[in-house]
Amino acid sequence: GDSVTQMEGPVTLSEEAFLTINCTYTATGYPSLFWYVQYPGEGLQLLLKATKADDKGSNKGFEATYRKETTSFHLEKGSVQVSDSAVYFCALSGTGRRALTFGSGTRLQVQP
Amino acid sequence: GAGVSQSPSNKVTEKGKDVELRCDPISGHTALYWYRQRLGQGLEFLIYFQGNSAPDKSGLPSDRFSAERTGESVSTLTIQRTQQEDSAVYLCASSYPGYNEQFFGPGTRLTVL
């Protein structure tokens, strides 16, 4: 079945550092890929998405590129802020399936 | 309402009791999903509704779990004879027909003592 693997956290960075959170997936066909974010005390929010190979999703300075050849969708941000501290979840929606398959989440802590 | 709402926000129950969790999706969203998030883990899919029917129930962990949806709106997730391993945050999401972007509610935190 479909699966998503994320790097283990927590990831601790200083403000203005470069962020990469790795995400790889296993799925048949051409899934849609998502990053969701869960800020402390808040619900899950969609951060960005990509629906086909080589698409780049972007939002709030975050980017991720759908790489079919490496089955990856790594999340990047050039300069993190304290307000980016949250748990980030990579997810996919498989071909012909509506439910999302989530990774285990990566906690990001940004220190001033 | 503006977003997906869920009630109660917190529920503490004793082992063996039944619980009902409610979800109100965004108006016009015909697709509705239930997920479970155990502490420190990712979300596990439970069930998907399209309208009032459930074409995908593959994530329900046992026959103690059931869900229904009426009027293409409110959904109720029922857990019978709760066990301690049922303790988790139960999340509901909804989406427009034909769109795969899901909008999540704040969740119900269930604690089984």
Q: For residue B1, what pLDDT is reported?
A: 52
Q: For residue A9, what pLDDT is reported?
A: 86
For tokens 């899901």, name the residue: B102
**A93 contact residues in B (CB cutoff 8 A):** 100
Q: Is the dihedral angle over the CA atoms B60, A25, B25, A83 positive or is it negative?
A: positive
Q: What mean pLDDT do residues B37-59 have?
A: 91
* Cross-chain residue pair B41–A105, CB shorter than 8 Å: yes
* Cross-chain residue pair B56–A99, CB shorter than 8 Å: yes
Report the residue of A5, A44, A49, A89 to disrupt the B interface, i.e. the one with the largest count of B CBs within 10 Å.
A44
* Cross-chain residue pair B48–A98, CB shorter than 8 Å: yes
State chain A's mean pLDDT as an integer.
94
Q: What is the pLDDT of residues A13-60, one digit of tens each?
A: 999 999 999 999 999 888 999 999 999 888 899 999 999 999 999 999
Q: Quick check: A94 pLDDT over 90?
A: no
* Cross-chain residue pair B102–A43, CB shorter than 8 Å: no
Beta-carbon count within 10 A of B36 CB: 22
What is the rounded CA–CA span in Å between residue B45 and residue B56?
10
**A52 vs B: CB within 8 A:** no
Q: What mean pLDDT do residues B42-52 have?
A: 92
What is the rounded CA–CA span in Å between residue B39 and residue B41?
6
Q: Is the dihedral angle over the CA atoms B50, A36, B1, B24 positive or is it negative?
A: positive
* Cross-chain residue pair A105–B56, CB shorter than 8 Å: no
Q: What is the pLDDT of residues A47-68, one digit of tens each?
A: 999 999 999 999 999 999 999 9
Q: Quick check: A95 pLDDT over 80?
A: no
Question: Nearest CA to CA, how far is A48 from chain B (Å)?
Answer: 10
**A89 contact residues in B (CB cutoff 8 A):** 42-43
